[in-house]
């Protein structure tokens, strides 16, 4: 398949119920920070002092003045092998963290967790309601049904953020049946919120089933009423609600969380006056639509970090907002063996707000160098969009003749026809995915230095129905197993602009993607290329538009600088649709 359904790999992340017991807290460094670090700064990842991986972080400030963070059940260190059940850490300053212990042990696991089926606990959410602390979490296998994969949401309470934690004894949101036996919708990623009238809600869900919101009873231990979908299935997971300026903001992650060096996991936002939605992005596109909206909060930016997602939001003592999230170092993507557990340490970066919309570091996204630490007022900056230069007519084609202009070459057989001022190219029943490389590719040479490729694309994918995985768009190609592509694609019932990357890794082929802006019946696509000679890489950034004027600039993928890079067009993923390319333009800059 050219695009795999985004999904959390249950077999990889499910852990054995053999955990370390909670240990007494030790004292972390004070605000002076790590030795050798400039005063008042920090450098990601902030979990390095106690964990190599700390995925799906949830954070709260306790009454004792400490910040507490909770992570998904994984081993904390390379080579450790045994997972921790919701590991807990604490910090005075949000950047220097110390391991405290685990929220659960084998003896204190929820009684309804099916340990015989290797139940794991995932994706915690921590809140204080009244006089108690509540920890919500996913139980991946339960005894509620006799079947497998019957995930549910649980809650435990404690008098302090460090515990001890006591499970409530039953799911808050129980397993939700999908189709046949062992088929349940993914009841993952809980997040608690309290509306302005005091009503409690829980957000939960993932790709299989979508993100829902449900009302809770006064105890927070039971869902009541009818849940409502607020973000479309097959696109979002990891929902998190923030109240600001009269709006509720829904933060949600998208794309594959765990594709190693090609993980494109990213965070998007929509907002609503009503906590139950509908949530719309900056362009007014709903997050529960087939052509789903979502304003980018953070995406891979070309530095060491990919897979930047599953967030929490906190406000420091200076009134500044911060995004805590996990990411993957593309040079060290796995905890132990390749294609095993993805190594996802915890990061923190400033969350800025521009025109009522959140973005990490004003659109610069994940940091990999020293940054001003929380608790000190610092000016917010906004990253400028790329500068697009004039069109190079000698390398462009308006497709208004009876044949392609000189300079085009084909990989495999010629496809499509020129008619009506467009290149009409039916989607091929062929692939360009890992070991299956049967699709034709239309390419041309690129100039030295920086450039931007752009096309205007119409493709009859419709909406809502399943059309896996027809797609068309731009490709930066260095070989069948080394490329990036930006396509308008049908992924189950959704229509997405996916920016994917394929590369050889550890004797196999890795593929992953990130999502850019919402597509339309006509969608404009750009690949913005720059040369990073210091890193020895081609950087390619995706951009999409629904009107050819307002552009959404998305994530960055890199390719080796010595790759023989070409750029062009593709139309593949299954027969049944037709791509119409109005033009191909190459801009110099």
Catalytic residues: 56, 237
Structural Rg of the chain based on CA atoms: 24
**Cα–Cα distance between 485 and 487 in angstroms, integer?**
6
**Cα–Cα distance between 103 and 164 in angstroms, integer?**
7
Angle at 28 between CA 24 and CA 257, to 5 degrees: 90
Q: Cα dist. 1→69, 117, 292, 420, 499 in Å?
A: 38, 30, 22, 31, 15
**Cα–Cα distance between 256 and 259 in angstroms, integer?**
6
Q: Are 86 and 105 in contact (CB under 8 A)?
A: no
Structure-derived torsion over alpha carbons of residues 455, 460, 464, 465, reported in degrees to the nearest 10? -130
**Cα–Cα distance between 231 and 494 in angstroms, integer?**
11
φ, ψ of residue 520 to 5 degrees: the values are -140, 180
Q: Are 517 and 554 in contact (CB under 8 A)?
A: yes
**Cα–Cα distance between 482 and 490 in angstroms, integer?**
22
Task: For residue 45, say if its preceding peptide bond is cis, omega within 30 degrees of 0.
Answer: yes
Check residue 257 and give left, alpha or beta (phi > 0: left; psi -120 to 50: alpha).
alpha
Say whether 401 sits in a helix, a strand or coil.
coil
Residue 75: HSE in the Cβ half-sphere, 13 Å Cα cutoff: 15
Pick the closest to residue 476 from 457, 451, 456, 496 (CA basis): 451
Q: Are 312 and 240 in contact (CB under 8 A)?
A: yes
Residues of 21-46 as b/e, b for ≥16 C-beta within 10 angstroms? ebeebeebbebebeeebeebebbbbb
Contacts of 83 (CB under 8 A, 6+ apart): 15, 16, 19, 73, 74, 75, 120
**Cα–Cα distance between 17 and 121 in angstroms, integer?**
10
Contacts of 32 (CB under 8 A, 6+ apart): 39
Contacts of 142 (CB under 8 A, 6+ apart): 112, 113, 114, 119, 150, 151, 152, 171, 174, 175
DSSP letter at 122 equals: E
Q: Are 503 and 514 in contact (CB under 8 A)?
A: no
Stated length of the chain: 589
Pick the closest to residue 310 from 87, 127, 54 (CA basis): 54
DSSP letter at 12 equals: H
Pick the closest to residue 533 from 407, 471, 448, 453 (CA basis): 448
């Amino acid at each position: 398949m050219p695009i795999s359904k985004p999904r959390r790999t249950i077999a990889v992340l499910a852990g054995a119920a053999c955990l370390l017991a909670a240990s007494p807290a030790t004292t972390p460094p004070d605000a002076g920070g790590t030795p050798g670090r400039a005063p008042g700064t920090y450098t990601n990842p902030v979990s390095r002092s106690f964990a190599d991986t700390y995925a799906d972080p949830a954070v709260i400030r306790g009454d004792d003045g400490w910040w507490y963070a909770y992570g998904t059940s994984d081993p904390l260190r390379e080579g450790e092998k045994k997972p921790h059940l919701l590991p807990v850490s604490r910090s005075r300053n949000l950047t220097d963290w110390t391991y405290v212990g685990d929220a659960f042990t084998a003896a204190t696991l929820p009684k309804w967790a099916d340990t015989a089926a290797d139940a794991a606990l995932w994706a915690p959410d921590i809140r204080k309601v009244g006089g108690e602390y509540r920890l919500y979490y996913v139980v991946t296998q339960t005894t509620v049904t006799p079947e497998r994969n019957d995930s549910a949401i649980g809650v435990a309470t404690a008098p302090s953020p460090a515990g001890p934690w006591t499970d409530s004894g039953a799911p808050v949101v129980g397993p939700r049946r999908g189709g046949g036996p062992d088929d349940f919708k993914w009841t993952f990623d809980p997040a608690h919120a309290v509306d302005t009238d005091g009503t409690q809600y829980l957000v939960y869900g993932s790709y299989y089933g979508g993100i829902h919101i449900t009302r809770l009873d006064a105890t927070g231990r039971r869902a009541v009423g009818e849940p409502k979908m607020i973000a479309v299935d097959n696109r979002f997971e990891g929902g998190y609600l923030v109240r600001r300026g009269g709006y509720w903001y829904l933060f949600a992650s998208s794309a594959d969380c765990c594709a190693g060096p090609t993980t494109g996991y990213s965070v998007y936002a929509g907002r609503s006056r009503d906590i139950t939605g509908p949530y719309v992005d900056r362009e007014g596109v709903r997050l529960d639509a087939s052509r789903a909206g979502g304003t980018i909060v953070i995406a891979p930016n070309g530095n060491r970090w990919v897979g930047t997602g599953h967030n929490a939001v906190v406000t420091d003592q200076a009134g500044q907002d911060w995004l805590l999230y996990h990411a993957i170092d593309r040079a060290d993507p796995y905890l132990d063996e390749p294609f095993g557990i993805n190594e996802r340490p915890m990061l923190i970066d400033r969350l800025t707000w521009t025109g009522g919309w959140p973005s990490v570091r004003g659109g610069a996204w994940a940091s990999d160098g020293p940054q001003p630490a929380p608790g000190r007022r610092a000016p917010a900056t906004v990253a400028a969009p790329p500068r697009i230069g004039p069109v190079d007519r000698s390398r462009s084609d308006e497709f208004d003749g009876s044949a392609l202009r000189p300079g085009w070459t084909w990989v495999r057989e010629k496809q499509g026809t020129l008619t009506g001022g467009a290149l009409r190219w039916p989607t091929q029943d062929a692939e360009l995915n890992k070991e299956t490389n049967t699709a034709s590719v239309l390419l041309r040479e690129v100039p030295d230095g920086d450039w931007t490729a752009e096309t205007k694309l119409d493709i009859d994918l419709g909406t809502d129905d399943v059309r896996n995985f027809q797609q068309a768009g731009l490709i930066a190609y260095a070989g069948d197993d080394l490329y990036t592509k930006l396509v308008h694609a049908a992924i189950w019932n959704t229509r997405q602009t996916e920016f994917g990357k394929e590369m050889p890794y550890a004797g196999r082929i890795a593929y992953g993607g990130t999502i850019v802006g919402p597509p339309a019946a006509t969608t404009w696509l750009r690949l913005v290329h720059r040369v990073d000679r210091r890193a020895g890489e081609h950087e390619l950034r995706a951009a999409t538009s629904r009107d050819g004027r307002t552009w959404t600039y998305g994530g960055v993928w890199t390719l080796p600088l010595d790759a023989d890079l070409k750029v062009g067009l593709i139309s593949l993923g299954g027969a049944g649709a037709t791509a119409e390319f109005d033009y191909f333009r190459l801009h110099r800059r």
